[in-house]
Every structure is written in C-alpha cells, then in structure tokens.
Chain A
Amino acid sequence: MQKLHCSWCGDRPQSEFTYYCTEEGIPGKKSRKQDDEHDRIYLRSNHVGEHVEIWQHTLGCRGWLRVVRHNVTHTIRKIVRINQKAKAARS
C-alpha cells in the first residue's frame, strides 16, 4: 500500500487518508462572480500529469494536506500541511 507522509503522524498508509478535491475546487480570493464560481465548483482540467490536491488525514490527526501527486504513477512529489504555520504560531 502506498504511504503518505503526514508531518504530524509520519508515514501512514494511504487508506487512512481521504482525497477531497484538486486545487481548482478551492474558493479563490479574487473573483466571486457567478461564472467563476460555476467553473470552480464544476469544471476540472483532469489532465494526465501532476495535480495539486487537497487531502485529509481522516483516520489520523484529521489535519488537511496539500499534496502534489502524479495521477498515473501516483508519485507524490510534495506534501505539506495546510495552516501549519498558523498552528505552530499558536502552540
């Protein structure tokens, strides 16, 4: 089974994680026009290659991760925790 590296929990099996969506689906800051919202919610480039994806460590620390992953080889080039800085500042 493939492992994903969670910066809090370490290398954990993929079945503990849940894919949420690609970065295209995240609300943008600039435009909130109706057409742009439609495109954000529904349209995906869905190309072969690397995508920036949002995952959650559902059966672990429940933290959110930004994962740069290839959708054919499943190779993960980069994986960072979302809001890690904010959390670190608080602790």
Chain B
Amino acid sequence: MQKYSAVNLFKHALKGNREWPRAWRDVGPRKAYDVLIIGGGGHGLATAYYLAKNHGITDVAVLEKGWIGMGNVGRNTTIVRSDYLLEPNGQFYEFSLKLWENLSQELNFNLMFSQRGTIYLAHSEDQLNEFARLGNAMRVRGVDSELWSRKDVRKAVPLLDCSGDARFPVHGALVQPRAGVVRHDAVTWGYARAADALGVDIVQNCEVTGIKSVKGREVRVETSRGPVIGKKVAIAVAGHTSHLAAMIGMKLPVEAHLLQAMVTEPVKPMLDQVVMAAGTHVYVSQTDKGEILMGGDLDFYPSYSAKGNLPRIEDVAALTIALFPAFSRLRLLRTWAGITDMTMDGSPIIDFTAAEGVYLNGGWCYGGFKATPASGWTFAEMIATDQKPALVEAYSLDRFRSGGTLSEFGAGPMPQLQ
C-alpha cells in the first residue's frame, strides 16, 4: 500500500496524478478461506480489517454482491454520536466514537471526521427534563454531554427559529460536543484499502445465493462467482439479513423498512453543527460540499424497493423549514433511500447462529453507520476467539425470549416505531 502523505501528494502532483496505484486489488474468489465475510459494507470491511490487524487472520475474503460503497454505508446521513440512555448501548457506541476519533490516522485515509457536535432540540419543558436525564446517564458513564438553554442554542445556531411563536418552539437542547460527522465513502474506501493491504481479498459483484453448514465440517457458500469454502462465515449484510438467515433456516426478529435522506443544492457554510429535533424526528447538517443534508422518519411500512415515498420527503422538508425558515428557498437536489434491518427493540444483533461456523451481525436499524468501527472490532473478536466480547453481550438473539430487550424508547415489539 502506498502511504497517503503530503510528500506523496506532491510527488504525484508533479506527474499529473496519473500514477496513483489502485486503492485495493480487484480479485475473484479463491476456492477456500479461513474466514468469509458476506457483505462488503462498512461493517463487513471493518470486520475484515480488525480480523487481520487485531487477530492476525489474513486469509479472509469479503464477498460483496454489488460494489464497495453501494449499500447503506453510502446512504446514511454520516452522523456519529454516543448519546444513548441504556448502559449496553451507551458503552458500545462510546467505544465506537473513541475508535472514530483516531481512525483517519489508523487507516491512513482522510475520513474528514468533524467533531462539530450534535444539538438535540427539546420542544417542550418535559422533553428538556427527559434530556437532563439522558445527559446525566451519559455523564455517569463518562460521556460528554451538555444541557443548553434556548439562549445558548440561539447563540450557537443563529439561523434556527428560536422565537416564541415558532411552529416548534425551542426550549433548550442536549448537546454532545464530541459527536459529529464522517465522510461515509471515505470510511468504506479507507477500510477496504487498509484491509486489502493486510492481505484480505475484496471480491465485488459476488452475490451469495446459498449457505450450507454441516456440523463438524467447513461451511460451503454458493455465490454468483462459484462456490467458496470458509472455515468460518460471517454475515454482515445490513438490510438483507433476513434472506441470509433464511439460508441457514433461521427467522429473525427483523423487518425491512426504508429510510430516506436528501440534500439540497450546495450553498455557502451556514450551519456549523448537526441539529436534530426530538419531537418531530428530523436531523439536519451541512456537508463539506455545502449541501444541506436532511433525514427523518422511516417510510413506516416494510419495503425492499430502496426507493422512498414522496410524503416522507415532504414531511422532512416541511419540518426542516419550520426549524430553519432560511432554507425554504433552497432547491432539493437529490433524495435516496436505504433498506434498514429494523429489529423488534431497536437494538442490533451480534451473535452466534444455529448453524455451526456461521456468525451473525445485523439488525442495526437506522443507526448502523456510527457503530461501524466498534461493530467490526467486536465481531472480529467474536469470530477469532469464538467468545462473545463483553461489549456486545447484550446484543444477543435470545434477549427477545429472556425479556432482556434493549429498547431506548420503550416502543414495544413494533419495528417501524423504534
């Protein structure tokens, strides 16, 4: 791997930038590997990277049905934060945020990580009380959080409508200063390049069509590019986990829903932080290109279409304009949707499966992007050691049977409401 540095940048600039090497090799699958990872998204690539880096397992292939960066890793709103109420989630996402903080250096790839802070708006006194509780829960476990008054919010985000007659009056906010955004494509490419440099094969256009696991033998995976044998097979296919689980005869507590996001035309810097609204569930930030990036609720009915509906776009735009009247003159440039694995309690699953040698990582709902490094780290540890790391002990499949569900909002077993 050629190191990305100022010196190399200068050298290549002299040659017209025509001689940069490939970031990762384009390879076909070999017949057998120690570990096969199904899914070349953020989680799959991170798992491959940490398997090689932390555990010295380099005979690894990542099988991706499309191309790297096509799936949910390139469809999210790039927000990373760790403002969770429940202890297992709080610990896990904080570990993830700590990994994010050093990831650009570790991968030698500029991820454009920007800790610009998340401002979680409260639209009533009760919501502000709830945020005080959430903020305290975060502080108890050593995570940064601040409770802001309306005056503080108005000072930090001058474009926000903080007036008394605003449609959604601002009563204050919970702020996590260390939270922020990361450029999601760079995360994918960074992990792919670093994993490839450690010897991992990244196989694109390779769709898995069947998994055969027989006790005491290696796992055989049928793909669109021929059969591949793996001593261990790891599933990390956000959005399509149920199909892969069906191949090994499992039914999961997961339902596929669509989550949309959208950007406006690019404008000059006008929003420095990530602003999220609790009551209306909309989140807004400005990308480095200058686009105003918005996201909101799910489409609220199951779908694998990867195309969102118009009412949700209208909702998100209307809510954003209610918060930021100045954005009303911007034109919408692009909208897109991602298929999310919505679980029955809103928390993910990292666990062993009924099939020997097959490991499961999924059910990330709409919060999988911020989990990418920690998910890869813990999943790799689980695959390498066959022990479940303490950090993801709670993300088990049997929590639904035992009553140990992890529901941040207490919404009940309704995947669309998490």
By a beta-carbon cutoff of 8 Å, the part of chain A in contact with chain B is 1-2, 13-15, 18-19, 21-22, 38-39, 41-48, 51, 53, 55, 71-74
Given contacts A19-B416, A38-B400, A72-B304, contact A44 B254 (CB under 8 A): yes
- Is chain A's binding surface mostly helix, strand, loop or mixed? mixed
Q: Bound state CA distance, A55 and B416, in angstroms?
A: 13
Given contacts A14-B311, A18-B300, A41-B413, contact A47 B243 (CB under 8 A): yes
Q: Find out whether the CB atom of A44 lies under 8 angstroms from the CB atom of B252.
A: yes
Taking a contact as CB atoms closer than 8 A, the residue among A1, A13, A14, A44 that contacts B251 in the complex is A44
Q: Find out whether the CB atom of B242 lies under 8 angstroms from the CB atom of A47.
A: yes
- Is chain B's binding surface mostly helix, strand, loop or mixed? mixed
Least CB distance from B207 to A in Å reads 13
Nearest to B251 among chain A residues (CB) is: A43
Nearest to B345 among chain A residues (CB) is: A42
Taking a contact as CB atoms closer than 8 A, the residue among B253, B256, B309 that contacts A42 in the complex is B253
Contacts of B256 in A (CB 8 A): 46, 71
Least CB distance from B413 to A in Å reads 5
Least CB distance from A41 to B in Å reads 5
Pair count A-B, CB < 8 A: 65
Q: Bound state CA distance, A34 and B384, in angstroms?
A: 35
Contacts of A71 in B (CB 8 A): 256, 302-305
Q: Find out whether the CB atom of A74 lies under 8 angstroms from the CB atom of B254.
A: no
Given contacts A39-B251, A41-B413, A44-B242, contact A51 B302 (CB under 8 A): yes
Q: Bound state CA distance, A38 and B403, in angstroms?
A: 10
Q: Bound state CA distance, A19 and B401, in angstroms?
A: 25
Can you list 5 A-B contacts with CB-CB less than 8 angstroms, sorted by A residue number?
Answer: A2-B309, A42-B253, A42-B400, A44-B242, A45-B242
Convert B112-152 into 0s and 1s, putting 1 for each residue whose CB lies closer than 8 angstroms to a CB of A: 00000000000000000000000000000000000000000
- Sorting the interface of chain B by its residue count into under 10, 10 to 19, 20 to 34 or 35 or more gives 20 to 34
Nearest to A17 among chain B residues (CB) is: B301
Convert B398-418 into 0s and 1s, putting 1 for each residue whose CB lies closer than 8 angstroms to a CB of A: 001100000000000111100
Contacts of B394 in A (CB 8 A): none
Least CB distance from A37 to B in Å reads 10
Q: Bound state CA distance, A18 and B299, in angstroms?
A: 10
Nearest to A13 among chain B residues (CB) is: B311
Given contacts A46-B256, A47-B246, contact A22 B303 (CB under 8 A): no
Nearest to B240 among chain A residues (CB) is: A48
Contacts of A1 in B (CB 8 A): 309-311
B64 at the interface (CB under 8 A from A): no
Contacts of A39 in B (CB 8 A): 251
Least CB distance from B195 to A in Å reads 29
Contacts of B414 in A (CB 8 A): 21
Q: Bound state CA distance, A78 and B300, in angstroms?
A: 20
Contacts of A21 in B (CB 8 A): 414
Least CB distance from A22 to B in Å reads 7
Nearest to B405 among chain A residues (CB) is: A42
Least CB distance from A46 to B in Å reads 4
Q: Find out whether the CB atom of A72 lies under 8 angstroms from the CB atom of B300.
A: no
Contacts of A55 in B (CB 8 A): 301
B187 at the interface (CB under 8 A from A): no
5 residue pairs, one from A and one from B, having the closest CB atoms = A46-B242, A19-B301, A42-B253, A15-B311, A43-B251
Contacts of A53 in B (CB 8 A): 301-302
